[in-house]
Amino acid sequence: MDEMSSENKQITRITPHRGLLHIPLRELWEYRELIGLLAHRDFVSQYKQTVLGSFWYVLQPLLQAFMFIFVFSNVAKISTGDLPPMLFYLSGIVCWRYFSECVTKTANTFTGNQHLFDKVYFPRLAVPISQLITNLVGFSMGFVMFLGFYLWYYFHGVPIHPDWRIIVLPVLIIQMAALGLGVGCLISGMTNRFRDLQVLLGFFMQLWMYASCVVYPLKVVPQSYRWVYELNPIVFVIESFRFAFMGEGTVTFTQVAISAVLSFGILVLGLIVFNKVEQTSVDTA
């Protein structure tokens, strides 16, 4: 009886995939409920024990916009052109926060979920994808707040000029998600070995923000430094967002194309690094 039961016992062996650019789309679809649960867990737990709860998704960018108005508009006297400072800063903050959150949360994929990876198998890429979904909820709440201010200024005669280019918003969101996922996967692979990068990440993202035209328009940047900004993909996402909704922004087709190519190139590189690290951390049984 024991021999028969041992013969009928199935042994499942989970081995790492070989392709460095392998994206387990079928597996990710099969684990879509898990991705939804992870996204819900992260959304609920982030402000679970706070008084204001999910309202922080709106309050944080609003407070940041007021701070930028005071520091950069009133003290530093940086012009925002014909745009009201509130709209100018909110447009940059809402886009930047989505990208930044995608980077910082994806960067902790291996270090923050090791206890989960050690116990059960599922496609590791499910974790950063769930973060994209969670951050998209925060972006949506911030975007609704931006629209509220936008409509208020629009109906009070402020010269903002929305046009058909607003339809590119889903494309901009996809590009921000792709860039955030790529950078986050790159950093998550490196922090799995060099934990010091976790400490430097916040400082690095702060510097990147000030180099991304969040607090000043690209047109005030001297021409001799413009080439540096053209290598920063998020710059033209933010500039395109402002141009689509308010008719203000320094955007050309060439710049947008370069930004898109760089974003998806970084995504490919990030997935390669992520898969390389996953091959050494996948469960075998």
C-alpha closest to that of 133 among 181, 186, 64: 181
- Structure token digits, residue 100: 């930044």
- Report residue 121 CA to chain centroid gap: 25
**What pLDDT, in 10s, does the model give residues 55-105?**
778 888 999 999 999 999 888 888 888 889 999 999 999 999 999 999 998
- Does the pLDDT value for residue 255 go beyond 50? yes
- Structure token digits, residue 184: 């986050």
Is residue 77 classed exposed, middle or buried when 0-12, 13-18 and 19+ CB atoms within 10 A define those classes?
Answer: exposed
Does 73 or 190 have the greater pLDDT score? 73
CB-CB neighbours of 29 under 10 Å: 10
Rounded to an integer, what distance in angstroms lies between the CA atom of residue 203 and that of residue 235? 19
State the pLDDT confidence band at 202, using cuts at 50, 70 and 90: confident
Number of separate helices (H) and strands (E) present in the chain: 13, 0
CB-CB neighbours of 273 under 10 Å: 18
pLDDT at residue number 115: 73
- Does the pLDDT value for residue 220 go beyond 70? yes
- Does the pLDDT value for residue 156 go beyond 80? yes
State the pLDDT confidence band at 6, using cuts at 50, 70 and 90: very low
In angstroms, the Cα distances linking 102 to 148, 210, 223, 275 are 24, 18, 31, 18
Mean per-residue pLDDT for 231-238?
A: 93
Does 135 or 49 have the greater pLDDT score? 135
> Residue with structure tokens 């390669």?
272
125-129, 250-254, 265-269 — which is least confidently predicted?
Answer: 250-254
Is residue 86 classed exposed, middle or buried when 0-12, 13-18 and 19+ CB atoms within 10 A define those classes?
Answer: buried
What DSSP character marks residue 123? -
Treating both helix axes as pointing N-terminal to C-terminal, what angle do 85-106 and 233-246 enclose, rounded to 10 degrees? 140
- Structure token digits, residue 141: 């709440």
pLDDT at residue number 285: 37
State the pLDDT confidence band at 34, using cuts at 50, 70 and 90: confident
Q: Count how many Cα atoms sit within 13 Å of the Cα of residue 228 in the half-sphere of its side chain.
A: 11
State the pLDDT confidence band at 19, using cuts at 50, 70 and 90: low
State the pLDDT confidence band at 164, using cuts at 50, 70 and 90: confident
pLDDT at residue number 62: 92
- Does the pLDDT value for residue 250 go beyond 80? no
Mean residue pLDDT of the chain comes to 83
Is residue 38 classed exposed, middle or buried when 0-12, 13-18 and 19+ CB atoms within 10 A define those classes?
Answer: buried
Do the beta carbons of residue 175 and residue 258 sit within 8 Å? no
